[in-house]
Structure 1
Amino acid sequence: MARPHPSRRILMIAYHFPPLTGSSGIQRTLQFVRHLPEFGWEPIVLTVHPRAYPNTSPDLLRDIPAHVPVIRAQAFDSARHFALAGRYPACLARPDRWISWLPAALHRGRQLIRTYRPRIIWSTYPIATAHAIGYRLHRASGLPWIADFRDPMAHEGYPEDPATWAAFKRIEEQVFSAAAGVSFTTPGALDFYRDRYPRYPGEPFKLIENGYAEENFAGLDEQAAAKGPLHPGRITLLHSGIVYRNERDPTHLFQALQTLRQQDLIHPDRFILRLRAHHNGDHLRTLIDRYQLQPLVELAPPLPYREALEEMLRADGLLILQAANCNQQIPAKLYEYLRARRPLLGLTDPAGDTARTLKNMGCRHLAPLDRPEQIAPTLLTLLKDMDAGIPTGPDSEVIRRYSRRQLTQTLASWLDNLSEPPETLPPP
């Protein structure tokens, strides 16, 4: 490799990166990579070979800046590449199914450190193996290391397998014994770890929430306006993204819809719920049949990223589902919903970070995900407000606060404080 000119460089270790598709976590790393150069930092990305991804699409590859080195280390998915008759050794899935990424990533990471001489290492979870790589490269190079947590790691009931839980906890303890800084996407996760590791030296905890990228919406407002509503004459409530069976179970929403239909308060010719990229199709179809909602609920397959954004803009309202077992998490999709400026229905635990964030954004139509008796009147109120043209969303200043560019500036300022010129790098 040709040796670049000295600069402030950051080695970024991330599993979720284009051409992976179907994960909102891609955007966090991708947008940091796009905006960090504006604030004086040059990223180098260490990720996996695309074969390790379950689904790929080229549509986000064009968003990677041409000047950013992207190194794809050898990696496999144990469940797909090492399984016989659907089974594979448990050791090939601890801490996760991409543990095969570790040796190649360490080899390539050392090469990158010698060649590019970055000032700092950054890794993001999930996947847990990314933090294992970050820890080892930090130990080998002496460079300061930031560990980014998009979700909490080892917590009560997760992971369910005790040996996997122990592997997660071991990596987590490595983070809090060695990292120069630890970032979180939600206040609840930050508070959780501050309580778990109260003796962690200094003040290295940082809240850097997820957000939306304004450039991803370029031209889409006009396209959506030209195409018009998704279902002219009917209000379309859209859930864009995976409907997880445990974390985003719509059973109680379906119960509420059945009750409203039986009471003649909601009509298929005036309303439809679209679940896009639903993931658990068989389970959802069973629920639709059980509650006799065939005219009211529509299941739709995934869309390319920009098409999904355009669909949000064309929807009449947008739906957030988040169970109480995810109270320290916020769906990354929420921030793109925010930018879409559509009315929001939030079905989530009032005590969780998702509900608090929605309230802070000015969203009023909230109900617990597991309370159909509260979901029904909340949905009716939203529909009435929409019919009456009553504003139901946040103002422009709140929306701008969550732009990825502004959040990247927060990261860059933190990097300035945490990084020092390298003095202990291995020889080139």
Structure 2
Amino acid sequence: MKRVLIIAYYWPPNAGVGVYRWLKFVKYLPQFGWQPVVYTPANPELQALDEALMKDVPPEAEVIKGPITEPYAWYKRFTGRKADERLQTAFLKEDGSGSTWKENIANWLRSNFFIPDARIWWVKPSVKRLQLYLEQHPVDVIVTTGSPHSLHMIGRALKQRTGIPWVADFRDPWTNIDYYDQLKFTRWADAKQRRLEREVLTEADRVITVSWRWAEDLESLGAKHVEVITNGYDPEDLPRPPEPVDECWSLVHVGSITATRDVPELWKALAERVRDDAEFRARFVLRFVGGVDHGVIRSLESAGLMGHVERIGQVSHTAAIRHMQRARVLLLPVNDTPNVMGFLPAKVFEYLGVQRPILAVAPLGADIGKVLGDGHWLVQRGEMGPIHTTVQQLFDRDRTAATPAKRFERRELTGTLARLLDRIVAKDVTVMHRA
């Protein structure tokens, strides 16, 4: 069995959104002749805990853990936070408070002295540890997955020292990430970020990303061999039998909804339907499962919808899927940011897997339109007429969505990854066809 070293910051029981992509690849890689060796921090900053995720780690997988030093303990002390407080998703503010002067200073220091990110202190000890490991336990390919993009620094150094082929997986953009301009980089720090990004893109044997438009963006930055392997859904994660659909007409968003995902036009359309339609008013529930930015709450209050809002908060992965199955319609507002055309949130594939209708708010021509099949709706921001019409159609034509494409199942996607790894070992540099 061939061996692949996967360097990943997010790993169970950490339940952040970044864990699922490579956890599922690791789950299925042995079925395609690859033994995964995972290197991950022993003591990472946790977003959430979900011990149930450990069941997806196959017996063939080897997991190596190395201690990591992160600046978050200092950050919490400096900003007056509790030591056990979990930091929120980037630019998600649930409490409505503005940033304090201490937070502004800490964030400026993080942006300009921890480059490319706060995990930079993990690079040198990891390279040393893994170089010793590889001398005794060779692998055929090295994979790094970012963000955090510091991990690509580990892969780059290991390739330089060992000659082992290296794949850089971009789950998220680097300098094209939607909040990059909010990080307050100095000119020097911005130049260093862009130089490191360019070195990774040009020196990796392959670059993988999750959407077609982001692949084009990476190529424009210098990458030469970019493959697209999207995220997906695992049929084994879907509760059987499925949860019964809500009696009420529930519009459900699962996951964090940040300020860039606010859709005031939709809230206004829903509020007008509540005002004008007694049946809709009696049955309508807008449910948020996960964090909700305070700016979104203010927008909902302004529209007069808070009487119809349910907030569930953070739940386990299994519970999140149960909420998806119960929904009459699943809400998917795509970030209103410059990289929106390639933004494919990981949850869209689980939305597809539960076969409930999806209401996506995104530009026409965005990559998300490529994955939505029959029984789903896409509307653009600012177009009140189509939004009104779509809300009416969704309420009047309650139905199950079409069966999702098999190519988005996690096992199928892992097969694509395994074939890519096989080609790398065979020194085949052709790029797979992008569907």
Name the structure 2 match of 1:336.
350
**2:195 aligned with 1:170, yes or no?**
yes
SS at match of 2:295: helix
- Judged with a 3 Å threshold, the aligned counterparts in structure 2 of structure 1 residues 309 and 373 are, in CA distance, closer, same or farther, namely same
1:267 corresponds to 2:280 = yes
Residue 26 (str. 1) matches residue 26 (str. 2): no
Say if 2:50 and 2:317, in contact at 8 Å, map to a contact too: no
* Counterparts of residues 118-129 of structure 1 (less than 5 Å): 118-129=139-150
Determine the C-alpha separation between the residues in 1 that align with 2:62 and 2:251: 41
- How far did residue 84 of structure 1 move? 4.4
Query: Are 2:204 and 1:179 equivalent residues in the alignment?
Result: yes
CA displacement at 1:16 relative to structure 2: 1.9
Determine the C-alpha separation between the residues in 2 that align with 1:382 and 1:223: 21
1:299 matched to 2:302? The reply is no
Contact 2:262 2:296 in 1 (8 A): no
Provide the rounded CA distance (Å) in 2 between the counterparts of 1:193 and 1:51: 28
Listed as ranges, the matches of 1:309-388 within 5 Å are: 309-325=321-337, 326-358=340-372, 361-386=373-398
Number of residue pairs the alignment of both structures matches? 393
Paired residues for 1:25-424 under 5 Å? 25-82=18-75, 84-86=77-79, 87=102, 88=106, 89-90=109-110, 91-155=112-176, 158-160=179-181, 161-163=184-186, 164-197=189-222, 200=224, 204-217=225-238, 220-222=239-241, 224=243, 228-230=244-246, 232=247, 234-246=248-260, 248-264=261-277, 267-280=280-293, 282-325=294-337, 326-358=340-372, 361-386=373-398, 389=399, 393-395=401-403, 398-419=404-425
Alpha-carbon separation, structure 1, partners of 2:10 and 2:75: 21
Q: Is the 8 A contact 2:142 2:166 kept in 1?
A: yes
User: What amino acid maps onto 2:377 in structure 1?
Assistant: H
Check conservation: 1:159, 1:165, Cα contact below 8 A: no
Q: Which amino acid aligns with 2:402?
A: P
Instruction: Give me the whole-angstrom Cα distance separating, in 1, the residues matched to 2:177 and 2:54.
Output: 37
SS in 2 for 1:50: coil
Q: Which residue of 1 aligns with 2:10?
A: 16
Q: Assess if the C-alpha contact under 8 Å between 1:128 and 1:171 holds in 2.
A: no
Residue 64 of structure 1: how far off its partner (Å): 1.3
Measured in 1, the distance between the counterparts of 2:151 and 2:313 equals 30
Q: Residue 405 of structure 2 aligns to a residue in which SS?
A: helix
> In 2, Cα distance between the equivalents of 1:341 and 1:364?
10
Task: Structure 2: give runs of 5+ residues left out of the alignment.
Answer: 80-101, 428-435
Alpha-carbon deviations, 1:18-45, whole Å to 9, x = none? 121231x311100110111111111111
Give 1:394 deviation, angstroms.
2.9
Cα drift, residue 156 of structure 1? 8.2
> CA RMSD, aligned part only?
2.3
Cα distance change, pair 9–375 in 1 and its aligned pair in 2 (3 A): same
Q: Matched residues in 2 for 1:357 and 1:166: separation? A: 35
Alpha carbons of structure 1 residues 291 and 106: separation in structure 2 relative to 1, 3 Å:
same
Structure 1: distance between partners of 2:249 and 2:425 = 51
Contact 2:140 2:164 in 1 (8 A): yes
Q: CA distance change for structure 1 residues 369 and 167 in 2, over 3 Å: closer, same or farther?
A: farther
For residues 378 and 165 of structure 1, what CA distance do their matches in structure 2 show? 42
- Looking at structure 1, the residues matched to 41 and 8 of structure 2 have their Cα atoms a distance apart, in angstroms, of 8
Residue 327 of structure 1 aligns to a residue whose secondary structure is helix
Higher mean C-alpha deviation, range 373-382 or range 33-42:
373-382
Asked if the contact 1:240–1:275 (Cα under 8 Å) also holds between the matched residues in 2, the reply is: yes
Give me the TM-score of the superposition, normalised by structure 1.
0.85
Deviation at 1:157, TM superposition (A): 6.9
Alignment CA distance shift 1:195-1:92 (3 Å): closer
- With over 3 angstroms needed to count, the CA separation of the structure-2 counterparts of 1:9 and 1:192, relative to structure 1, is same
Aligned mates of 2:210, 2:278 — CA distance in 1 = 39
CA contact 2:357–2:376 (8 Å) conserved in 1: no
Change (3 A) 1:112 1:255: farther
Alpha-carbon distance in structure 2 between the residues aligned to 1:51 and 1:342:
35
- The amino acid of 1:342's aligned partner reads R
1:310 counterpart letter in structure 2: R
Closer, same or farther: CA 374–75 of 1 in aligned 2, 3 Å: farther
Contact 2:11 2:19 in 1 (8 A): yes
User: Which residue of structure 1 lines up, in the alignment, with residue 98 of structure 2?
Assistant: none
Work out the CA distance in 1 between the residues paired with 2:44 and 2:70.
8
Alpha carbons 1:47, 1:71 under 8 Å: kept: yes
Q: Secondary structure at the match of 2:201?
A: helix
Secondary structure of the corresponding residue to residue 390 of structure 2: helix
Question: Any unmatched runs of 5+ in structure 1?
Answer: 1-6, 422-428
Q: What is the CA–CA distance in structure 2 between the aligned matches of 1:341 and 1:311, rounded to whole Å?
A: 13
- Per-residue deviation, 1:196: 3.3
**Whole-Å Cα distance in 1 between the matches of residues 318 and 14 of structure 2?**
15
Percent of matched pairs sharing the same residue = 27
Aligned amino acid, residue 394 of structure 1: A
Q: The residue matched to 2:319 in structure 1 has which SS?
A: helix
Which residue identity lines up with residue 17 of structure 1 in the other structure?
A: W
